[in-house]
Structure 1
Amino acid sequence: MIDGSWKLSNPVLGLVVVALTFLLFYVVGFISNRKAASAKDLYLGGGNVGALTNGLAMAATYMSLATFLGITALILNLKVPFIMLWIQLILAIPLITIIYGTSLRRMGAFTPTHFIRERYGVSASIIAALFMILVSIMYALGQMIGIAVTFETLLGIPYMTGLFVGGLIIVGYITVGGMAGATNNAAIQMVIMALMFIVPLGAIMKAIGTEGWFFPPLLYADMVPAMLEAVPDFFDYQYPTKWYFSVIPALTIGALGLPHLAMRVYTSSSLKSARSAMVWFAFILGLVFSATYAMGFTGVYATSVEGLNIAPEDADKLTIILNLAYNPEWVTALVIAGAISAGVSTLSGNLLAIGALLSQDIIKTLKPNIHERLNYRLSYIAIFVGGVIAILLAIEPPAFLVVSILWAFGLAGVTNAPLIIVGVWWKEANKYGAMAAAIVGGAIYIAVSPFVFPNLALTGHAVTDGMGLSGAMLAVPISFALLIIVSYITNRMPSLQKNLTRERDEKLVESIHGWKDVQAYRYNSKVGALVTVVVSIAVAIWALLPWGM
């Protein structure tokens, strides 16, 4: 095959599909959110979402356009190492529930930053909120890039036009719908995504000649022999052990700090419902993630064996290109509807998180007596402004749309996750340790990224540094160690005792775990804290040693 223009020849077909898709989303969003009268209604959807709906919504929020487009692009370029990297991410929401989701929900926290405010005080929560706004904007940036790429392919319009038109339509939909609309729409979007990804992939595999076309997520192995003959290094471990280890602090721990994922736990009608939603989430996400690997695998096969030519700058369009090459155009139009659904669902979570962080965790913290109606209106403004900022940042995008998303994971792992994890499970954690961990850890992570000070990048390997893997491996353990060391020292400084709330903190930690009595031995292990510090320092030193890339 030769290179194609990779866009629909009949743009009217694409316009109809997009119009119907957004009409559905706007109607569902408006109906779902019409009774919202408070910030709680806006951000938690009333706190009564059922398990299946929430499980679908969690999966949709997690999928994002990175799954539809970005993952397949990096599988095409990085091959198996990226598949191994992305598998780490599926652990996020179940771990959120196990490690702290239940505790924070029992406490009645809006967001993880709400917990940080109650646990460490106002100053620490504002610092965390500012970092989390940056995280959410960077995550939303990847979705905006994907939306622009999708519209570019759908209609043949310039990237910039697709960015502003598509971006503003989506920001408007999210602003209208709130969390109730976002959750109900996300459940619908997840169904659309699954069908529009897996079914057309089966048709592509059938056209290629593979026997496992009838269940793409698992039955694509018969392509392996021919593909390995053309690409013998596909399954090779191309990077040193340190690279594979670095995905744990960057992505697994990083995902624990993402505010828009944690917010989904709090929309459940009960703790039992939240746990049941995890089961649905894992099943649905596992199914579609497996299909994503199959799509990337099929792309490698098509380019190496079938002769499909894809320019490097078109790698993010792989899913759409495969459909244009092997399926009728009306199928590709439906696939694009699935891609748009993926971007919309994740953007909903990102922008709602930005709104909650600005209105609840900053404005209401600084102005606790602000009128509820005014704060409610400010929430809508914050959501809209966050979307516009993401659009503006996408004007000069990184080489791969998934880069900004993965970098955001690492920043969340440095500045948010340690404060929550240690704060939930160790009573001695205090505000001085929390602020030191967030500020120093966050500054180190940003400084060693290639986006700010390229000369300070740890490996010089564009993918490793750009995705935040090297930065997180250094900054995440430093953040954990600082939180514990500074807290331990300041708790024993008489001059600071009047500024600490030890007794209140101990009661808070006990209560969020469900205890009604306070016992000094619970959640107060010095041995556990020491082990965490030693391991953290060892990992940080390892990160500074040569990577051997």
Structure 2
Amino acid sequence: MSTSVDLAAALPESNPIVNTAVFALFVAITLYVVYRASTRNSSTSDYYAAGSAFNGRQNGIALSGDFLSAASFLGIAGAIAIHGYDGFLYSIGFLVAWLVDLLLIAELLRNTGRFTMGDVLSFRMKQRPVRAAAATSTLVISFFYMLAQMAGAGGLVALLLNIHGGFGQALVIGVVGLIMVLYVLVGGMKGTTWVQIIKATILLMSGVLITVFLFGKFGFSFSNLLSAATDRSPLGEKLLEPGGSYGKNGTTKLDFISLALALVLGAAALPHVLMRFYTVPNSKEARRSVVWATSCMFLFYLCTLVIGFGAAALVGADEIKGAPGGENSAAPLLALHVGGTLLLGIISAVAFATILAVVAGLTITASASFAHDVYANIFKRGKADPVEEVRVARLTAVVVGVLAIVGGILANGQNIAFLVALAFAVAASANLSTLLYSLFWKRFNTTGTLWGIYGGLVACLVLVIFSPVMSGAADSIVKGVDFHWFPLKNPGLISIPFSFLCGYLGTIFGRDKADPARHSEMEVRSLTGIGS
């Protein structure tokens, strides 16, 4: 087998100028679209929910753009190329997570709330403490999710733009953050939605084109592609069998179950995904969004299967692991092999566009939660001026953007997968129990809501801090020390049931009583959309 150096020498070199030019073209086009879409952003409805002006098809494509992050595009393709069958489990997990999200609570939340998750949780509870808890949870989840995306941008810079220095990567993280903040400030939810639509379309087109090319190269036979992948992989035939990743390197089956639980249940409680359902005018269009989003994601994850095994066959595990981006470099290296510098430039633009769009969606969610839940409903007690509320949201977006840039620079080169998994685990631990109890349990009260949110949030963070992810393992974030006592790398298996238990006990022992009339109103509203 040729070495990675020999393989790289046989290919045209990556051209940073072409990569930068393609990315700059995407930014210029989307900024123009955002500017054109920002003609009406004075009211809270315009800024937070785009005036509910998008139809189901548009919102469905934007939803898929929100959900398909850089981890979905680069991480899953790399995991399949290196680990085979076990890597594809991520695709299955994310798709199942999306279906759980949609089938379980998405439409019910859309009918009940107005702008944020705090609207839903506080519908039949005491407003101020519940909105404060919901905003805290939303900000923590958004920050960690943004941290992963921003740090991922720095990790990809070395391969895509040939920038290896820490200062250069920090500069690119800063540029990505500033562009993201500009999207949110100028376009609000309407501009951000159009960026998501454009990004999702380009991502799907790129995935389909590479997939068709790979099928053609192997005689339009998936069996031929798999055979070539197993011949090239160090795993051989085991590439197509379970165990290529899980069960090795100290990862236990219990770890996998915990991670899967967090991913599947966490998606149903991600604030930035749930918030997008407020951009459509009614429940009918929300259901159309579900159909379009599911179709787009199903197509995309099928493409990642072909791209991953195609990278294993044409690029090889040695070259992928030896590249600056590690497993994340599989898709870009495949593009370089099959299409040269130009296709690599396009894939580079798609990768950065993916990061840019997801972070923009997270930023507007975080800013809306603070401005709407904290400023308007806690500080101003529901009597805030709409123009002033939008101004606070924009200021919050700037602050969140700066924090994301600083955090991304500090986390550059660290365990990015941990940050993504943490965001899902926090969402499942803090939000899911309270959302389900609020929608379906008549006795659920304010004390149960607060216990469920804060109990799940604190348990999740504490278990992560004292897990092998932080210390005691070769790939821990803190090197040279060992203060872990929790054996699992993801706390979902413990923290998620714990949050349900906290919500239950808080309801049983809390002195405040649930309001039957408000529960009945919430039930009718969630099922019919009347009054939403």
- Which of the five TM-score ranges fits, normalised by the shorter chain? 0.7 to 0.9
**Of 183, 186, 210, which aligns to 1:176?**
186
1:502 matches 2:497: no
CA gap of 1:48–1:467, structure 2 versus 1, over 3 A, is farther
Counterpart residue number, 1:415:
430
Is the 2:258–2:493 contact (alpha carbons within 8 Å) kept by the matching residues of 1? Answer: yes
**Of 15, 20, 23, which aligns to 1:18?**
23
| Offset, 1:304 | 4.5
Is the 1:425–1:509 contact (alpha carbons within 8 Å) kept by the matching residues of 2? Answer: no
Counterpart residue number, 2:150:
144
1:21-40 correspondence to structure 2 within 5 Å: 21-40=26-45
- Name the SS of the counterpart of 1:429 in structure 2: coil
Counterpart residue number, 2:210:
200
Is the 1:197–1:335 contact (alpha carbons within 8 Å) kept by the matching residues of 2? Answer: no
Q: Which moved further from structure 2: 302-311 or 435-444?
A: 302-311
TM superposition score normalised by structure 2: 0.85
Counterpart residue number, 2:501:
481
- Name the SS of the counterpart of 1:101 in structure 2: helix
Counterpart residue number, 1:439:
454
Distance in 2 between the 1:325 and 1:479 partners? 48
Distance in 1 between the 2:447 and 2:12 partners? 54
1:156 matches 2:162: yes
Aligned residues: 503
1:367-446 correspondence to structure 2 within 5 Å: 367=380, 368-395=382-409, 396-397=411-412, 399-446=414-461
CA gap of 1:275–1:42, structure 2 versus 1, over 3 A, is same
Q: Which moved further from structure 2: 466-475 or 285-294?
A: 466-475
Is the 2:82–2:317 contact (alpha carbons within 8 Å) kept by the matching residues of 1? Answer: no
CA-to-aligned-CA distance 1:361-404 (integer Å, 9 cap, x gap): 11112123222211111111112221221111111235453431
CA gap of 1:66–1:414, structure 2 versus 1, over 3 A, is same
Write the letter of the residue equivalent to 1:435.
Answer: L
Distance in 1 between the 2:474 and 2:450 partners? 31
Distance in 2 between the 1:467 and 1:359 partners? 39
1:75-114 correspondence to structure 2 within 5 Å: 75-114=80-119
Distance in 2 between the 1:219 and 1:173 partners? 44
Write the letter of the residue equivalent to 2:443.
Answer: E
CA gap of 1:79–1:400, structure 2 versus 1, over 3 A, is farther
Distance in 2 between the 1:61 and 1:374 partners? 28
Counterpart residue number, 1:546:
none
1:210 matches 2:215: no
Counterpart residue number, 2:481:
none
Counterpart residue number, 2:257:
245
Distance in 1 between the 2:160 and 2:319 partners? 24
Distance in 1 between the 2:310 and 2:469 partners? 37
Distance in 2 between the 1:301 and 1:413 partners? 37
Distance in 2 between the 1:168 and 1:124 partners? 32
Distance in 1 between the 2:384 and 2:256 partners? 48
| Offset, 1:514 | 4.1
CA-to-aligned-CA distance 1:404-454 (integer Å, 9 cap, x gap): 1221011000001111011101111111112112222211111111xx334
Q: Which moved further from structure 2: 78-87 or 385-394?
A: 78-87
Is the 1:403–1:467 contact (alpha carbons within 8 Å) kept by the matching residues of 2? Answer: no
| Offset, 1:456 | 9.5
| Offset, 1:124 | 2.4
Distance in 2 between the 1:309 and 1:455 partners? 23
Distance in 2 between the 1:8 and 1:313 partners? 16
CA gap of 1:432–1:307, structure 2 versus 1, over 3 A, is closer
| Offset, 1:292 | 1.6
CA gap of 1:38–1:120, structure 2 versus 1, over 3 A, is same
Counterpart residue number, 1:535:
none
Counterpart residue number, 1:540:
none
Distance in 2 between the 1:305 and 1:150 partners? 18
CA-to-aligned-CA distance 1:80-114 (integer Å, 9 cap, x gap): 32421342222344433432222232234212222
1:116 matches 2:136: no
| Offset, 1:461 | 9.1
Is the 1:231–1:304 contact (alpha carbons within 8 Å) kept by the matching residues of 2? Answer: no
Distance in 2 between the 1:9 and 1:82 partners? 27
**Of 137, 140, 145, which aligns to 1:131?**
137
Q: Which moved further from structure 2: 148-157 or 44-53?
A: 148-157
| Offset, 1:258 | 0.3
- Name the SS of the counterpart of 1:328 in structure 2: helix
Write the letter of the residue equivalent to 2:100.
Answer: L
CA-to-aligned-CA distance 1:60-96 (integer Å, 9 cap, x gap): 1111111222223333454432421342222344433
Distance in 2 between the 1:275 and 1:170 partners? 29
Counterpart residue number, 2:53:
48
Q: Which moved further from structure 2: 155-164 or 17-26?
A: 155-164
1:363 matches 2:375: yes
Write the letter of the residue equivalent to 1:439.
Answer: Y
Distance in 2 between the 1:211 and 1:471 partners? 45
Q: CA RMSD in A?
A: 3.2
Is the 2:315–2:334 contact (alpha carbons within 8 Å) kept by the matching residues of 1? Answer: no
- Name the SS of the counterpart of 2:238 in structure 1: coil
| Offset, 1:356 | 1.0
Write the letter of the residue equivalent to 2:200.
Answer: M
Counterpart residue number, 2:313:
301
Distance in 2 between the 1:17 and 1:505 partners? 53
- Name the SS of the counterpart of 1:36 in structure 2: coil
Counterpart residue number, 2:267:
255
CA gap of 1:461–1:482, structure 2 versus 1, over 3 A, is farther
| Offset, 1:312 | 7.1
Distance in 1 between the 2:78 and 2:316 partners? 15
**Of 443, 452, 470, which aligns to 2:490?**
470
Distance in 1 between the 2:205 and 2:19 partners? 18
Counterpart residue number, 1:191:
201
**Percent identical:** 21
Distance in 2 between the 1:101 and 1:173 partners? 26
Is the 2:112–2:522 contact (alpha carbons within 8 Å) kept by the matching residues of 1? Answer: no
- Name the SS of the counterpart of 2:290 in structure 1: helix
CA gap of 1:231–1:456, structure 2 versus 1, over 3 A, is closer
